[in-house]
Structure 1
Amino acid sequence: MSAAASRPAFPFTALVGQAPLQRALLLAAIDPAIGGVLVTGPRGTAKSTAARALAALLPEGAFVTLPLGASEDKLIGTLDLEAALRESAVRFAPGLLARAHGGVLYVDEVNLLPDALVDVLLDAAASGVNTVERDGVSHTHDARFVLVGTMNPEEGELRPQLLDRFGLMVELGTPYDAAQRQRIVKARLAFDADPQAFCATYEAQQAALAQRIVAARAVLGALGWSDAVHERAAQRCIEAAVDGMRADLVMLRAARALAAFEGANAVSPDHVDQVADSVLAHRRRAMPEGASAPSSAQPPSTRNEPHTEASADSDSDADWGELPPEPVAARAVKGVIPLPAKKR
């Protein structure tokens, strides 16, 4: 075994200044159905280090990297059609999705991947299943993994349709606090100097955190959502003017995962508030100026209502930008001779 292969991962509990990212990764590990985590930020902000550190906490410990330029067959696997026709048996050559089952699938610069590959990744991450079909022959296998995609916004953006399908998003920045930078650098230098000794100092914390993940997964299905929790999630999504309902679903799953991680007896609206930022970071849209959230208590306007200035704005027959007439005071103009009044 090479030295690189035997080198331990940087301890998850030793990460410095990465609390939002650590929480998002833990939530996705507890409930992979959340749909993965998108991490944006400049180079050198420990994106890959955090993903490797998470994999080391999971029981299976698999860490699989999808390289740029990978084919769809390499990602999803291939079927031997000749064997299927000759032996009436399906021979499946596993791809990266099968190898990542139970662990972490890391995709660096996900914004540079072809859209078709990103679609496959997100489908498998959300469903936990991968299906390979060729000429009427299909094979299905479990593919439950934590998808971690990273990107540098300066190198291009993801299409909004793909961006929305990532469950959570965390934006990283370069720290400009001198004390924090020193803590980060000192921890990294200590790890590089003696990885085994450095990891040994965090062994107890790592074991305790790994056990919390296992325990949270075990109770996840027993936690439900009250009407108050549903209402808070809906309110947060309406305030962010999100498109569709995916944000509501992800927010509820993430809140439940957080409650399970904390050992709570029930999901609370506070859990919703704690996960809202990472759910809405890539989905939030600006409300149109002057617009307010619609209320189901307000009846829709009809054409039989009085035509006021407010209703004119919403009248589909009115010209855009049309203003109602306003009375203007008349005044005498010099040099103009008034006409004589008509005799009755």
Structure 2
Amino acid sequence: MTELMATRPKVFPFTALVGQQTLQRALLLVAIDPGIGGVLISGPRGTAKSTAARALADLLPQAPFVTLPLAASLEQLVGTLNVEDVLRDGQLRLAPGLVARAHHGVLYVDEVNLLPDALVDALLDVAASGVNTVERDGISQQHAARFVLVGTMNPEEGELRPQLLDRFGLLVALENQRDPTERQAILQVRLAFDDAPQALHASHAEALQNLAVQVATARAALPRLAWSDAVLARAAQWALSAGVDGVRADLVMLRAARAWAALQGRQAVTVEDVDVVAELALAHRRTDASSGGGAPHQASGPDGAAKPSPPRAPSEKQSDSSGSPSSATPQPRGDWGALPPQPVATTRVHTVAGWPAKKA
């Protein structure tokens, strides 16, 4: 058995990921504070979405990695109560679901955009609260379910409804790697892992250990970090600039900024911490009615350099080349990809030879 464990291929090291700094940052933030609401990774095939999720679970000490299958039912996800046992011997027994198995670990949902909305809604409720409530026939029971939620999706296969998209704390949008040098580096480390996974993991053992300790320290430091009025104002300005609905974006931004400050070993959250995480919290929440009111025009980045204010969504009224507003009517907001009704000419149906004429 010892030989089998020693020769078993290891998970790709988290610190060996190449060209995925934004993704690594988002995953570390939700690992430090799962209350952020998880991270949604959107991108084409082959962009290391599942590899990064597994690597995060391997980084955390004794963290289970649970995968939610597409065909899962609601009872399989949240669990169920055996009412028959109550009637028979008065004992209430809980049949735990996947969220219970993922407690203190990572719950990975591949192709989350293909799951039924009710399943996604229940999953996001548990991820945000850290508590799962199982109800059946008027009987309910609660248990802790604190896990890191990682969802992935390929936009080519369909989108999430905006109401569900907003429930994810952070969003990372990946693209195919176009830089030849970066692409070569990815190939080199991937081939090294395929040829000798144990050797690659050993070469990153020290970095992985240091990062694991850093995450654990940041988790413990979270309750001691406070937000100043300046930090609250900065988050509000970013949210107003993006034209988001409600205050969920502000709250997520603040929690993510606190997690980033804790990861950096700071004793308080700074304005710069908000700037670092703002795009992760706002990328999937911007609306077409975005206005620039109150947003910082030059936000300082983590390195102190000037950073432009967040991009704004295009207005409903577009201007033509002459600068005057276009008079085109806005497209209907139905299902994504739906086209407006088009007039279609009708043709007369001729009698087919051999078939009797229709009687009056």
TM range (shorter): 0.7 to 0.9
72-81 or 210-219, which moves further after superposition? 72-81
Q: Do the aligned residues in 2 keep the contact of 1:90 with 1:139 (CA within 8 Å)?
A: no
Give the deviation of 1:85 after TM superposition. 1.7
3-state secondary structure, aligned to 2:151: strand
**CA distance in structure 2 between the aligned counterparts of 1:53 and 1:276, rounded to whole angstroms:** 24
Q: 1:147 to 1:232 in 2, by over 3 A?
A: same
3-state secondary structure, aligned to 1:190: helix
**CA distance in structure 2 between the aligned counterparts of 1:87 and 1:28, rounded to whole angstroms:** 42
- After the TM superposition, which residues 20-35 of structure 1 pair with which residues of structure 2 at under 5 Å, given as runs? 20-35=22-37
Give the deviation of 1:262 after TM superposition. 0.3
Q: Do the aligned residues in 1 keep the contact of 2:224 with 2:267 (CA within 8 Å)?
A: no
Paired residue for 1:197? 199
Amino acid at match of 1:195: P
Amino acid at match of 2:226: G
Give the deviation of 1:196 after TM superposition. 1.2
Paired residue for 1:267? 269
Paired residue for 2:17? 15
Q: Do the aligned residues in 1 keep the contact of 2:237 with 2:294 (CA within 8 Å)?
A: no
For residues 146-203 of structure 1, the C-alpha deviation after alignment (integer angstroms, 9 at most, x for no partner) is 1001111111010000000000000000101111111111111111112111100000
3-state secondary structure, aligned to 1:244: coil
**CA distance in structure 1 between the aligned counterparts of 2:226 and 2:294, rounded to whole angstroms:** 27
1:158 aligns to 2:160 (yes or no)? yes
- After the TM superposition, which residues 1-344 of structure 1 pair with which residues of structure 2 at under 5 Å, given as runs? 6-287=8-289, 293=293
Paired residue for 1:306? none
**CA distance in structure 2 between the aligned counterparts of 1:222 and 1:178, rounded to whole angstroms:** 44
For residues 100-138 of structure 1, the C-alpha deviation after alignment (integer angstroms, 9 at most, x for no partner) is 111110001100000000011100100001111101222
Amino acid at match of 2:293: A
Q: Do the aligned residues in 2 keep the contact of 1:240 with 1:286 (CA within 8 Å)?
A: no
**CA distance in structure 1 between the aligned counterparts of 2:140 and 2:187, rounded to whole angstroms:** 50
For residues 260-310 of structure 1, the C-alpha deviation after alignment (integer angstroms, 9 at most, x for no partner) is 00001110010000000100000012336xx66389xxxxxxxxxxxxxxx
**CA distance in structure 1 between the aligned counterparts of 2:250 and 2:22, rounded to whole angstroms:** 20
**CA distance in structure 2 between the aligned counterparts of 1:274 and 1:287, rounded to whole angstroms:** 24
Amino acid at match of 1:258: W
Give aligned-pair identity as a percent.
Answer: 65
Which ranges in structure 1 are unaligned for 5 or more consecutive residues? Answer: 296-320, 322-344
Larger RCO (alpha carbons 8 Å, 6+ apart): 1
Which ranges in structure 2 are unaligned for 5 or more consecutive residues? Answer: 296-326, 328-360
- Which aligned segments of 4 or more residues in structure 1 are displaced greater than 6 angstroms? none
**CA distance in structure 1 between the aligned counterparts of 2:81 and 2:159, rounded to whole angstroms:** 34
**CA distance in structure 2 between the aligned counterparts of 1:6 and 1:115, rounded to whole angstroms:** 37
For residues 205-236 of structure 1, the C-alpha deviation after alignment (integer angstroms, 9 at most, x for no partner) is 00000000100000101101000000000000
Give the deviation of 1:7 after TM superposition. 2.6
Give the deviation of 1:6 after TM superposition. 3.7
Q: Do the aligned residues in 1 keep the contact of 2:13 with 2:208 (CA within 8 Å)?
A: yes
Rg bigger for which structure?
Answer: 1
**CA distance in structure 2 between the aligned counterparts of 1:227 and 1:78, rounded to whole angstroms:** 44
Q: 1:294 to 1:46 in 2, by over 3 A?
A: closer
**TM-score, normalised via structure 2 length:** 0.79
**CA distance in structure 1 between the aligned counterparts of 2:236 and 2:45, rounded to whole angstroms:** 35
